[in-house]
Chain A
Amino acid sequence: MKKKLLDLVSRFYFIIIMFFLYAPILVMIVLSFNNSRSRVVWGGFTLQWYKTLFSNRQIREAFFFTIGLALLSAVIALLIGTAAAFGIHAMRRRGYAIMMGVTNIPLLNADIVTGIALMLWFIRFLPLGSGSVLIAHVTFNIPYVILALLPKIEQMNMAIYEASRDLGATAVRGFFTMILPQLTGGLLSGFFMAVTMSMDDFMITYFTRGAGVNTLSTMIYGEIRKGIKPEMYALSTVIFAAVFLILICVNFWPSNRKAEKRREGII
Chain B
Amino acid sequence: MENIIELKNVTKRFEDDGSAAVKDFNLSVKRGEFVTFLGPSGCGKTTTLRMIAGFDTPTSGSILLDGRDITALPPNKRPINTVFQRYALFPHLNIYDNIAFGLKLKKIKEDEIRKKVTEVLEIVDLAGFEKRSTSTLSGGQQQRVAIARAIVNEPEVLLLDEPLGALDLKLRQVMQRELMRIKKEVNITFIYVTHDQGEALTMSDRIVVMNKGIIQQTGDPVSIYDEPQNAFVADFIGESNIIDGIMVRDRLVKIQGVDVPCVDTGFAENEAVDVVIRPEDLDIVEEGAGFIDGLVTEVIYEGAYYDIRVMAGDYEWHIQSNMSATPGKKAGLAILPDNIQIMHKPRSSDEEIIEKD
What's the minimum C-beta distance from A61 to chain B, rounded to whole angstroms? 44
In the bound complex, residues from chain B placing their C-beta under 8 Å from that of A171 are 74
Contact count A vs B, C-beta below 8 Å? 65
B91/A266 in contact, CB under 8 A: yes
B88/A160 in contact, CB under 8 A: yes
Given the interface pairs A167-B149, A265-B135, the reply to whether A181 lies near B92 with Cβ below 8 Å is: yes
Q: Is B290 an interface residue (CB 8 A)?
A: no
Complex-state Cα separation, A160 to B135, whole angstroms: 15
Q: Is B106 an interface residue (CB 8 A)?
A: yes
Binds A, one of B78-86, B205-213, B253-261, B293-301: B78-86
Given the interface pairs A164-B101, A168-B102, A168-B105, the reply to whether A159 lies near B88 with Cβ below 8 Å is: yes
B16-54 contact mask (Cβ, 8 Å, vs A): 1 or 0: 100000000000000000000000000000000000011
In the bound complex, residues from chain A placing their C-beta under 8 Å from that of B135 are 265
Among residues of A, the one whose C-beta sits closest to the C-beta of B16 is A92
B76/A178 in contact, CB under 8 A: no
How many residues does chain B have at the interface if contact means C-beta atoms less than 8 Å apart? 27
In the bound complex, residues from chain B placing their C-beta under 8 Å from that of A109 are none
Among residues of B, the one whose C-beta sits closest to the C-beta of A178 is B90
In the bound complex, residues from chain B placing their C-beta under 8 Å from that of A111 are none
Q: Is B75 an interface residue (CB 8 A)?
A: yes
Among residues of A, the one whose C-beta sits closest to the C-beta of B135 is A265
B75/A162 in contact, CB under 8 A: yes
B76/A160 in contact, CB under 8 A: no
A233-255 contact mask (Cβ, 8 Å, vs B): 1 or 0: 00000000000000000000000
The contact of A265 among B74, B91, B102, by CB within 8 Å, is: B91
Q: Is B315 an interface residue (CB 8 A)?
A: no
In the bound complex, residues from chain A placing their C-beta under 8 Å from that of B86 are 159
Interface residues of A in 55-92 (CB under 8 A from B): 92
Interface residues of A in 176-205 (CB under 8 A from B): 178, 181
Complex-state Cα separation, A170 to B81, whole angstroms: 15
Complex-state Cα separation, A160 to B91, whole angstroms: 9
Complex-state Cα separation, A175 to B82, whole angstroms: 19
Interface residues of A in 150-167 (CB under 8 A from B): 157, 159-160, 162-167
B92/A166 in contact, CB under 8 A: no
Interface residues of A in 116-161 (CB under 8 A from B): 157, 159-160
Given the interface pairs A168-B76, A169-B105, the reply to whether A163 lies near B92 with Cβ below 8 Å is: no
Complex-state Cα separation, A162 to B90, whole angstroms: 11
In the bound complex, residues from chain A placing their C-beta under 8 Å from that of B106 are 168
What's the minimum C-beta distance from A139 to chain B, rounded to whole angstroms? 32
Q: Is A11 an interface residue (CB 8 A)?
A: no
Among residues of B, the one whose C-beta sits closest to the C-beta of A163 is B88
Q: Is A262 an interface residue (CB 8 A)?
A: yes
Most chain B CB inside 10 Å of its own CB: which residue of A163, A167, A170, A265: A167
Complex-state Cα separation, A173 to B82, whole angstroms: 18
Given the interface pairs A92-B16, A265-B135, the reply to whether A165 lies near B88 with Cβ below 8 Å is: no
B91/A167 in contact, CB under 8 A: no
What is the predominant secondary structure among interface residues of chain A facing chain B?
Answer: helix
Among residues of B, the one whose C-beta sits closest to the C-beta of A263 is B91
A166/B82 in contact, CB under 8 A: yes
B91/A170 in contact, CB under 8 A: no
Complex-state Cα separation, A22 to B71, whole angstroms: 65
What's the minimum C-beta distance from B98 to chain A, rounded to whole angstroms? 9
A169/B76 in contact, CB under 8 A: yes
Complex-state Cα separation, A255 to B219, whole angstroms: 53
Given the interface pairs A159-B84, A162-B55, A168-B76, the reply to whether A262 lies near B101 with Cβ below 8 Å is: no
Complex-state Cα separation, A211 to B237, whole angstroms: 80
A170/B90 in contact, CB under 8 A: no
Among residues of A, the one whose C-beta sits closest to the C-beta of B134 is A265
Among residues of B, the one whose C-beta sits closest to the C-beta of A170 is B76
Among residues of B, the one whose C-beta sits closest to the C-beta of A158 is B88
What's the minimum C-beta distance from A246 to chain B, rounded to whole angstroms? 27
Q: Is B62 an interface residue (CB 8 A)?
A: no
In the bound complex, residues from chain B placing their C-beta under 8 Å from that of A166 are 53-55, 75-76, 80-82, 150
Q: Is B153 an interface residue (CB 8 A)?
A: yes
Complex-state Cα separation, A5 to B156, whole angstroms: 77
The contact of A167 among B54, B55, B81, B92, by CB within 8 Å, is: B81
Complex-state Cα separation, A168 to B103, whole angstroms: 9
A165/B76 in contact, CB under 8 A: yes
In the bound complex, residues from chain A placing their C-beta under 8 Å from that of B92 are 181, 262
What's the minimum C-beta distance from A213 to chain B, rounded to whole angstroms? 45
B102/A167 in contact, CB under 8 A: yes
Interface residues of B in 54-76 (CB under 8 A from A): 54-55, 74-76
A167/B153 in contact, CB under 8 A: yes
What's the minimum C-beta distance from A90 to chain B, rounded to whole angstroms? 11
Complex-state Cα separation, A165 to B82, whole angstroms: 10
Complex-state Cα separation, A242 to B4, whole angstroms: 64
Complex-state Cα separation, A262 to B101, whole angstroms: 19
A163/B90 in contact, CB under 8 A: yes
In the bound complex, residues from chain B placing their C-beta under 8 Å from that of A164 are 90, 101
A162/B88 in contact, CB under 8 A: yes
In the bound complex, residues from chain B placing their C-beta under 8 Å from that of A173 are 105
Known contacts A163-B88, A167-B76, then 6 further A-B pairs from the complex at CB < 8 Å, ordered by chain A residue: A159-B85, A160-B91, A167-B102, A168-B76, A169-B76, A262-B92
**6 A-B residue pairs with CB within 8 Å:** A160-B90, A162-B75, A162-B82, A163-B89, A166-B82, A167-B149
Question: What are the nearest 4 A-B pairs in CB distance?
Answer: A167-B102, A159-B88, A168-B105, A163-B88
Interface residues of A (CB under 8 A from B): 92, 157, 159-160, 162-171, 173, 178, 181, 262, 265-266
